[in-house]
């Protein structure tokens, strides 16, 4: 299915992978699209693990951000087949596109909320646009994932994934903590 999209997926294959009878699948879902949308909905919901990686106070900001970037990136890697299916089906199925877009948007939203909390505590300047900072941070990892797994660009030749997490965090913190 990751190579052929919805059309390449048979309900028989889906039921085999799920370990259930094909009739059971049709009892719960009216069609193949319903099955795949439900599967994507569950598999692309990354809020809980991302929330867990944002635990901590301002004194742990650097480590927390490194962990957040690593967690977000790894969640995408773990779901890469579903992400590729979503990309293939976005034009044909708007609901799939919406589910896929929630992957980066949820990560941005959660980080934005955490940074706003630090603003309210007086740790970050009130003039800081926390949404823009969050979007830039997450975009780095989203782009790295897409480059590696969709475009097959080996960025590892220039920087390891771990270096990417650390250096992106350091650049971000340098920008927001050293504002004039």
SS3 letters for 111-125?
A: HHHHHHHHHHCCCCC
Query: Is residue 23 domain-shared with residue 84, that is, in the same domain?
Result: no
Which residues form the domain of 10? 6-40
Higher pLDDT, 39 or 79: 79
The CATH number covering residue 110 comes to: 1.10.357.10
Q: List CB contacts of 50: < 8 A, sequence separation 6 or more.
A: 68, 71, 72, 75, 106, 107, 110
| CB-CB contact of 108 with 176 (8 Å) | no
Per-residue model confidence as pLDDT tens digits over 107-133:
999 999 999 999 999 999 999 999 999
| CB-CB contact of 14 with 32 (8 Å) | yes
Query: What per-residue confidence (pLDDT) applies to 153?
Result: 86
Query: Is residue 109 domain-shared with residue 137, that is, in the same domain?
Result: yes
1 is a domain residue: no
Give counts: helices (H), strands (E), the chain.
9, 0
Query: Is residue 52 domain-shared with residue 127, that is, in the same domain?
Result: yes
Query: What per-residue confidence (pLDDT) applies to 155?
Result: 72
Please state the domain count of the chain: 2
Query: Is residue 71 domain-shared with residue 30, that is, in the same domain?
Result: no
Angle subtended at Cα 49 by Cα 47 and Cα 55, rounded to the nearest 5 degrees: 100
Query: Is residue 139 domain-shared with residue 169, that is, in the same domain?
Result: yes
Higher pLDDT, 178 or 12: 178
Query: What per-residue confidence (pLDDT) applies to 167?
Result: 97
* Mean pLDDT estimate for the chain: 85
Query: Is residue 30 domain-shared with residue 58, that is, in the same domain?
Result: no
Query: Is residue 53 domain-shared with residue 33, that is, in the same domain?
Result: no
Query: Is residue 17 domain-shared with residue 82, that is, in the same domain?
Result: no
Query: Is residue 24 domain-shared with residue 78, that is, in the same domain?
Result: no
Query: What per-residue confidence (pLDDT) applies to 9?
Result: 65
């Amino acid at each position: 299915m990751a190579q052929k999209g919805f059309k390449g997926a048979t309900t028989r294959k889906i039921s085999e992978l799920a370990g259930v009878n094909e009739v059971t699948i049709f009892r719960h879902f009216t069609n193949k699209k319903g099955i795949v949308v439900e599967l994507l909905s569950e598999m692309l919901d990354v809020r809980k693990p991302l929330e867990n990686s944002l635990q901590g106070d301002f004194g742990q900001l650097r480590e927390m951000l490194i962990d957040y970037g690593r967690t977000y990136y790894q969640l995408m890697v773990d779901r890469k087949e579903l992400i590729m299916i979503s990309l293939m089906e976005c034009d044909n199925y708007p609901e799939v596109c919406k589910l896929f877009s929630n992957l980066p948007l949820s990560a941005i939203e959660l980080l934005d909320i955490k940074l706003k909390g630090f603003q309210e505590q007086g740790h970050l300047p009130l003039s800081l646009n926390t949404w823009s900072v969050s979007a830039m941070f997450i975009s780095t990892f989203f782009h790295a994932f897409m480059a590696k797994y969709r475009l097959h660009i080996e960025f590892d030749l220039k920087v390891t994934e771990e270096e990417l997490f650390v250096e992106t965090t350091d650049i971000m913190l340098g920008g927001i903590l050293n504002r004039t």
